[in-house]
Amino acid sequence: MKPPTSVIDSLAFGGNGVCRIEGKVCFVPFSCPGDEVYLRITSQKKAYSIASISELLNPSSQRDIPVCKIFGSCGGCCWQHISYPVQLEQKRNILAESLRRSTRVKDILIDNTEASPLQYGYRSRMQFKVSAQKGVLKIGFFRKGTHLVEDAVEGCPIAVPVINQVINKFRKFLGSYPEVESISQIDIDAGENGVVVVLHQSGKISLKNKMQIIEKVPDFGPCSGLFIKSDKNLHVEKLWGDSRISYSLNKVGNSPGNFTLTYPPTGFAQVNQMQNRALLSIVHRLGGFKSSDHLLDLYCGNGNFSIPLAAEVAAITGIEWNSESILAAEHNIKLNKVANIKFICDDVSLALGQLADEGCKFDAVLLDPPRSGATDSVPRIARLQPKKIIYVSCDPSTLARDCGLFLTFGYSFVRSIPIDMFPNTHHIESVTLLSR
């Protein structure tokens, strides 16, 4: 006897489709809203079930044809089978639902998702996993929930084209590299000044093999910098070429012109540069900064927001724990001839406590924390009594949690704008404004 049919209602954060079986929520990977399906339960939990599609009875009209040949087995993209307008709508709904649960915010305060100009070929930084066992070389991505490498023979369709050119060159080189079994990962970062490659290798690489890699650089295509990172040493060792990756940002408001920002190999930068420019524009628009404002930029990285916004305010203090990012930020100040920014290398929460103890005041606080959010920092931000808080988030659940905390300190929810930094995936970036 076949199980009853189910219809997928929506998508959940994490990428799965959602339906109900006898009133219980069921999550269904690789489904699409509107799909009519037979399901096979794969996991039963107290509050929900997980199921796979055993038969797709009536495919949704909102489905699309995946571009990637390893879609479904690769652990990366999970929404290539869903039309792009539906992806945008569902991301907005997921963000709204997360915020509604923690803040009871009205739906009207959540904007539509800002679409990415490119749905493929947008990602400027990739991490390719490497497996070389029994003479078989695989370069690609982990299968979902495993450490088995799914071979991306044709590259990755969401990567900018030059990354696929370079990884194909390295695929040929590693086929004859004597220490190939010790290579675990290849990072490729495409900046406007070239393409930087970092090879992750277990143990210490011999001088002979270093020289072999360097001699092969001309065969690696548009490679402008080559580095080795050993799992026994956090330091990234330069073998050849450029040590900085660069990208540009458009001027905003009173800025005299465009900006060039740099960051080091394995350093952080947004992977969708078109949407990074849109993100900056949204932060500027929501911030409504005044020329007399003192702005605090938390988790400031390489100055991605601070430097373009410097001309809008009287002064900026940026705080970041990563010393390499702070070095890049200091370099970017000089590169762009900005004088009214002070960067501090410290744990954000600890630095906030010190600023509050010193009686410092800020008109606005901008924060772009990691996926885990900024729960420990919220009370300390509130002690500084900023009038406005602009929260850039890459995780709706931690954003909602932290916004709920800000409300307990007298802040009001003003507006949130989701932005699609990662098309064909479930990841959601957003900018939220709170005020008091």
Classify residue 239 by burial, with Cβ atoms within 10 Å: 0-12, 13-18, 19+.
Answer: middle
- Would you report the helix, strand and coil content of the chain in percent, each value rounded to 5? 30, 35, 40
What's the CA gap between 353 and 384, in Å, rounded?
9
What's the CA gap between 247 and 261, in Å, rounded?
6
**And the tokens for 84?**
């792009």
Neighbours of 294 (CB within 10 A): 16
Cβ–Cβ < 8 Å for 189, 210: no
What's the CA gap between 419 and 111, in Å, rounded?
9
What's the CA gap between 262 and 179, in Å, rounded?
32
Residues recognised as catalytic: 394
Integer distance in angstroms from the first to the last C-alpha of the chain? 60
Query: For residues 300-327, b (16+ Cβ closer than 10 Å) or e, as one string?
Result: bbbbbbbbbbbbbbeebbbbbebebbbb
Cβ–Cβ < 8 Å for 338, 310: yes
Tally: H helices and E strands in the chain: 9, 22
Please report where in the chains the tokens 């339906």 appear, as a residue.
19
DSSP code of residue 148: P
Instruction: List strand residue ranges (DSSP E) for 183-302, in order.
Output: 183-191, 194-201, 223-230, 236-241, 245-249, 259-263, 294-298
**And the tokens for 267?**
């350093």
What's the CA gap between 248 and 343, in Å, rounded?
20
The dihedrals phi and psi of 303, each to the nearest 5 degrees, come to 90, 25
What's the CA gap between 65 and 82, in Å, rounded?
8
